[in-house]
Amino acid sequence: MAREIHFEIFSRRGAKGGWKLVEVRSDRDESIKLAQKMMAEEGATGVKVVKETYDDETGDYLTLKIFEDGHNRMKSTPAQEDVPHTLPCFKPDDLYSYHARQTIIRLIPDFLARNKITLTELSHRADMLEKLEATGTLLQHAIQKVAVAQAASTATPVQQIIKTLNELTSKAFHRVYRDQRKGHFPDVELGKFGALASKLAEQSDGTYVLNGAIARYLYDTKGWNEKLLRLLSLMEEAPAEGPGGPLLISAVDSIIAEILNGSAALHELIGPRDNLGAALMTLVHLFLGKEDGEEGRQQGLISLTRYFASDSLPEARTAIANRITAEFKSVKRLCPESLSEEFKMLRKIANSVVLGVGKYLSHEDLIAAFTLRSKRFINQVTLGEYLGDSATPDEKLERLLSVEENIIGAENKRQLATFVLPVITTTTFDTHFQSPKVPVLTRLQRLAALNARVRRSGFQENQRTEIAETLDRIACGVEARYRLFESIDAKPVSPVEKANMILRMFTAQTFTEPRLAAKAREQIVGYLSKPGFLSGYMDQIARNGTEKPDAEVARADLMQTLAKIGITYDTGLKSIAA
């Protein structure tokens, strides 16, 4: 059984503050040390570390708290971490509420996956409830988890809550046993659910009975695909008028949402995929209601895509949106074999999923998920592996800039910059660009390209300036050593031709900003002031096969060219000699 483990670090501020996820790490000791540091230095009133173990076979997580500290620490057992705090249930009907159903699904996911049923089916099928009761420890363990969670927020003893929940569960089970014996859940043929829904819509227990009928209708399905197809076939029966249509559609929507919330069901419906990125891309296409043409998808998922395209089944679509966000927050890599492919897939998914931002998927949740995934790239192990030992210094910088272009979050980019500076400030980097094996213009163009990428990056301003100026300093050193401008000045050609040489270098993006480019502009301004420059410029235009312009036209044309390289109109106009 394949397992992946990560550790989630939470903090709490204020006496009644809630837990907030701060960071996710793969090392247990580092996670605990970070939590202790937050407690000591950042003013947190509570910290905890939760171990999450991912089971690749079921796609679910096993949660266990391994560390907690705080001024307002609440004593609890690890079982509390497995289930959210819930309001107590007082009668069997309370077990059918949304929050109660979500809690139950989280408590017994393996049982549901193993038997290929949804919670709605379980809670309306006597045979499955008997099977759950027969497990003994599973049911009792689930009840104990809920009791512990409730006891932490109330004054009621755990034993009393366990007793109450046992009685409540027993009543709910026996209600289903009794109703099934009495035939309260009808056996309905396909094509007659619309009429049944219209009849039940006026009854107080209409939803309960309809769900029981649907559970019996799904009884002999062989897998998730067949179950999904049968449910979608009921959508066609929903009456166009009256309350029966919304009742039937809502019941189908809820059950499909339960299917999509289960990792095992999604794995079967999506089919085999090369990696998480490919599987997630399939989910994004499903969420957007777009056919992706991928092989392996079950027919049920293809049919569901069409309903999503028409904005039907909101609860099911929300389940897919939640799954997409959860997968982004997980530590599992999209493309484990290559970080370059990871970035390509991340960008591809981001460009697609952003189209679905709206009532089912919030922009804030999506940004938070992408930021958290970006954060996991910024560590010594991942970046060290990506940079490699054989890469040249400029290739390492280029790869780090590629990382910057593919992550989001100001803090993530600030952290990444701390990996960039050590690369460009080493003697190895400087020596690489001083090597005579590569033509000087080629080296300057390479530095200028890196310099330009840094200046348009999302690094913090002070870091961006420091990195860009370091590259500019190295470029100035290369120019000074090989006397580029001196060699141009010494050429036996006219000032116009010398100025054009430097202008062509600007066009080829040869100069870094700010100093080397400024020096190149000074050289051009110097040539502009040479006697006869304007007339020489006019003659050159005529030699190129164009009619010789008058002085004003030539001056205007030259001003436009100079403006493109950063020489202002006033500076150029004052400098040009007739």
Per-residue pLDDT averaged across 79-104, rounded?
Answer: 60
Residue 334 has pLDDT above 80, yes or no: yes
Let me know: does 69 contact 36? Beta carbons within 8 Å.
yes
pLDDT in tens, 108-119: 889 999 999 999
Q: Which residue has the tokens 């997980």?
A: 330
Same domain, 446 and 478: yes
In a domain, 90, yes or no: no
- Domain end call among 457, 482, 507: 482
Q: How confident is the model at residue 163 (pLDDT cuts 50, 70, 90)?
A: confident
pLDDT in tens, 457-481: 999 999 999 999 999 999 999 999 9
Same domain, 381 and 478: yes
CA neighbours within 13 Å on the CB side: how many for 145? 20
In a domain, 42, yes or no: yes
At position 380, the amino acid (one-letter code) is Q
Same domain, 436 and 387: yes
Distance in angstroms (rounded) separating the CA atoms of residues 468 and 322: 41
pTM: 0.72
pLDDT attached to residue 77: 47
In a domain, 197, yes or no: no
At position 17, the amino acid (one-letter code) is G
Same domain, 393 and 477: yes
Same domain, 321 and 341: yes
For 19, the token pair is: 């837990």
In a domain, 86, yes or no: no
Q: How confident is the model at residue 121 (pLDDT cuts 50, 70, 90)?
A: very high
In a domain, 435, yes or no: yes
Same domain, 472 and 499: no
pLDDT attached to residue 529: 87
pLDDT in tens, 512-540: 999 999 999 999 888 888 888 888 878 87
Same domain, 338 and 410: no
- Domain end call among 482, 503, 535: 482
Least confident of 43-47, 211-215, 527-531, 545-549: 545-549
Same domain, 357 and 297: yes
Give 429 or 143, the one with higher predicted confidence: 429
In a domain, 18, yes or no: yes
pLDDT attached to residue 26: 81
Find the domain containing 557 and state its range: 494-578
State what percent of residues in the chain have pLDDT above 70. Answer: 90
Distance in angstroms (rounded) separating the CA atoms of residues 203 and 207: 8
pLDDT in tens, 543-577: 766 666 677 887 888 888 888 888 888 877 777 76
Per-residue pLDDT averaged across 83-110, rounded?
Answer: 69
Q: How confident is the model at residue 71 (pLDDT cuts 50, 70, 90)?
A: low
- In the DSSP assignment, the letter for residue 222 is -
Least confident of 48-57, 198-207, 241-250, 416-425: 48-57
- Domain end call among 75, 108, 139: 75
Residue 79 has pLDDT above 50, yes or no: no
* Count of domains forming the chain: 4
Q: How confident is the model at residue 24 (pLDDT cuts 50, 70, 90)?
A: confident
| Interacting residues of 171 by C-beta distance below 8 A, sequence separation 6+ | 91, 92
Strand order in the sheet with 20-25: 20-25, 3-12, 46-55, 60-70
Give 295 or 167, the one with higher predicted confidence: 167
State what percent of residues in the chain have pLDDT above 90. Answer: 43
In a domain, 349, yes or no: yes
Distance in angstroms (rounded) separating the CA atoms of residues 17 and 38: 15
pLDDT attached to residue 100: 78
Mean pLDDT computed over every residue of the chain: 85
Same domain, 478 and 389: yes
Same domain, 35 and 60: yes
Per-residue pLDDT averaged across 242-249, rounded?
Answer: 93
Per-residue pLDDT averaged across 384-402, rounded?
Answer: 91
pLDDT attached to residue 293: 66
pLDDT attached to residue 414: 94
For 446, the token pair is: 């390479």
In a domain, 141, yes or no: no
pLDDT attached to residue 89: 57
Residue 213 has pLDDT above 90, yes or no: yes
Same domain, 478 and 408: yes
pLDDT attached to residue 62: 66
Q: Which residue has the tokens 């593919």?
A: 406
Same domain, 576 and 521: yes
